[in-house]
Amino acid sequence: MNTKADAEADREADLRTDRRAVPARLSARERLLEAADELFYENGVNLVGIDRVIERAGVAKASLYDCFGSKEELIRCYLKARSERRQARIVERMAQFQAPRDKILSVFDLLGEIVAQPNYRGCAFQRAGAEAGAGSSIKGACDDSRAWIRAEFTGLARAAGAHDPESLGRQLVILYDGAATAAHADRDLDAPKAARALADRLLPPVA
């Protein structure tokens, strides 16, 4: 006797037509987020429709609305997940160093490794923020991610003895953003190295 769950599983199986479909071992929410991460980052959040995400995830359309309620919420969750991963990478890299100056410079070294990856398409938060409407939850997620890295730079600038840590934190974010943009738009893979050199000059000298 077929149950409702069996019928739902059959419908989801019918949707698994994409060769790069997300593995079925994940939950519907996880599969949708993984598909969104691939498609939104590669193509942009506005260009990719929900049907394409559903096809890649291999789930029923109802699953998307049950898990997220709307495309906007799916995008917000996608950005939040990317932000958490980026924060974890940065924290892990900075933990390898003791001096605040070295921690700051290590962030630019990490960026250099990231932009050299063949699937690098620029900063996900810059791109999504440019496509988002003012006041939307998508813009808010982008702003939150940017606020975190600015706070990290500012706190480290203060610990390094900067005269005006807020101003230096802002300058470091500008260097970070510029390097990420140049690496994608101009394929200048040395942009993070150049930004690191400038950051080194901006930081207070070692006592």
Is position 111 within any domain?
Answer: yes
Q: State the average pLDDT for the chain.
A: 89
Burial 96-122 (b: 16+ CB within 10 A, else e): eeeebbbbbbbbbebbbeebeeeeeee
Is position 74 within any domain?
Answer: no
Is position 202 within any domain?
Answer: yes
Name the domain boundary from 9, 35, 69: 69
Is position 49 within any domain?
Answer: yes
> DSSP secondary-structure letter at 40?
H
End-to-end CA distance of the chain: 77
26 and 106 housed in the same domain: no
Indicate the number of domains in the chain.
2
- Give ∠ CA 167-168-172 in degrees, rounded to 5: 120
Give residue-wise pLDDT tens across range 132-175.
988 899 999 999 999 999 999 999 999 999 999 999 999 999 99
91 and 7 housed in the same domain: no
- Can you tell me whether residue 177 is helix, strand or coil? helix
Name the domain boundary from 69, 88, 118: 69
Instruction: Give the number of other Cβ atoms within 10 Å of residue 139's Cβ.
Output: 19
94 and 195 housed in the same domain: yes
Q: Is 75 exposed, middle or buried (0-12, 13-18, 19+ CB in 10 A)?
A: buried
pTM exceeds 0.85 = no
154 and 118 housed in the same domain: yes
Residue 109's domain comprises: 80-207
Give residue-wise pLDDT tens across range 2-16.
444 444 444 444 434
32 and 62 housed in the same domain: yes
* CATH code assigned at 207: 1.10.357.10
